[in-house]
């Protein structure tokens, strides 16, 4: 069982930052997060504001693993990553892709509230034109219903998608959709994300045969070791992804990707490129389509430059106080 350090020790190391973003993503243009300096390294605690304290407790356990325990030994040190395309107009696709440099895979956000399938198709087509050799995958964040997903997949078939991430909500919804795709002979793999990290039992989707692969994120699932155990039990291919982290959080994702026995897909660990600035002078961004596994140490000047307002700092510290109490209790669930 993970040992949880005392609250005062954690609070003494806390830095809260607010980093501007290149484009709107997940409805935000500034990414706030809390950084911790532990005895073995820096760690990030950045659950999105709408997440409740029970969910955020897993994020804290992941941060404490990074800063107070360290990561398992890697078996690879170069991690292939995908670019991430937010739900921007098709005209902005070249601009956003340029921030990622050379890309071998692109994850494209679709089903954004207020947008149409035509917007999604135009965005995917623009990515295909800009990156003709890249593997394309889409992420609907469970926003489609069954029929909407089927209509979209029929129209998207020409792009030869690598997979579709969480097109509909729920394990039953994914299973039903997989059956419909097989019946229509649409060769598209289904990846489960929310149906892994937001379920009370993260293995249920694998047992139900509702997905072809799973998307795993270190922070929402409680740390690198917890995710390694989850992937081993699930018995499905895994894609490592991130949660709009700074380089400090990306370092944890790289540790997971570096330690997995198999890494069949490019990882969603390139999201530092969506930030206008990072807190590291040499941020963990892709070069030539991959990121070298190395440490992420925030720069003191950048921490000062992007420190959050006193009101936001206090909001995050109060959240940390509440979540710390939960993390001390709920240490057995991945």
Q: Enumerate the active-site residues.
A: 109, 217
Six-digit token string for 289:
């389509």
DSSP for 7-53 reads HHHHHHT-EEEEEEEEEEETTEEEEEEEEEE-SS-EEEE---TTS-H
Q: Is 139 labelled as part of a ligand binding site? A: yes
Six-digit token string for 197:
């990290």
Distance CA 203, CA 207 (A): 6
- Asked if 13 contacts 317 with a C-beta cutoff of 8 angstroms, the reply is no
Distance CA 138, CA 1 (A): 36
Q: Is 282 labelled as part of a ligand binding site? A: no
Distance CA 237, CA 264 (A): 7
Q: How many C-alpha atoms does 43 have within 13 Å on its Cβ side?
A: 30
Distance CA 31, CA 18 (A): 6
- Asked if 307 contacts 15 with a C-beta cutoff of 8 angstroms, the reply is yes
- Asked if 325 contacts 5 with a C-beta cutoff of 8 angstroms, the reply is no
Backbone CA torsion sign across 263, 26, 195, 221: positive
Distance CA 72, CA 306 (A): 31
What are the binding residues for Mg(2+)? 139, 165, 193
Task: Enumerate the known binding-site residues.
Answer: 139, 165, 193
């Amino acid at each position: 069982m993970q040992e949880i350090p005392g609250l005062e020790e954690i609070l003494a190391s806390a830095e809260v930052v607010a980093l501007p973003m290149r484009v709107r993503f997940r409805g935000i243009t500034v990414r706030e997060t809390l950084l911790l300096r532990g005895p073995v390294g820096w760690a990030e605690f950045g659950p999105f504001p709408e997440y409740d304290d029970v969910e955020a407790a897993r994020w804290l356990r992941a941060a404490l693993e990074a800063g107070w325990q360290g990561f398992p030994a890697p078996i690879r040190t170069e991690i292939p990553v995908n670019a991430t395309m937010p739900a921007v107009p098709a005209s902005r696709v070249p601009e956003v892709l340029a921030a990622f440099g050379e890309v071998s895979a692109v994850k494209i956000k679709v089903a954004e509230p207020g947008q149409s399938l035509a917007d999604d198709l135009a965005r995917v087509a623009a990515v295909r034109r800009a990156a003709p050799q890249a593997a394309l995958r889409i992420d609907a964040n469970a926003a489609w219903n069954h029929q909407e997903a089927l209509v979209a997949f029929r129209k998207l078939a020409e792009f030869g998608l690598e997979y579709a991430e969480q097109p509909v909500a729920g394990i039953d919804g994914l299973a039903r959709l997989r059956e419909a795709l097989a019946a229509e002979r649409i060769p598209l793999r289904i990846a489960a994300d929310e149906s892994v990290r937001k379920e009370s039992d993260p293995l249920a989707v694998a047992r139900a045969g509702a997905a072809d692969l799973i998307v795993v994120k270190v922070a929402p699932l409680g740390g690198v070791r917890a995710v390694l155990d989850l992937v081993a039990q699930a018995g499905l291919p895994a894609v490592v992804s991130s949660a709009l982290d700074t380089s400090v959080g990306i370092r944890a994702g790289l540790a997971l990707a570096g330690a997995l026995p198999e890494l069949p897909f490019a990882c969603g660990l390139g999201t530092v490129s969506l930030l206008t600035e990072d807190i590291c002078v040499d941020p963990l961004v892709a070069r030539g389509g991959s990121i070298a596994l190395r440490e992420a140490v925030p720069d003191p000047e950048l921490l000062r430059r992007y420190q959050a307002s006193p009101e936001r700092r206090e909001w995050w510290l109060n959240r940390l106080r509440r979540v710390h109490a939960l993390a001390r209790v709920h240490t057995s669930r991945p």
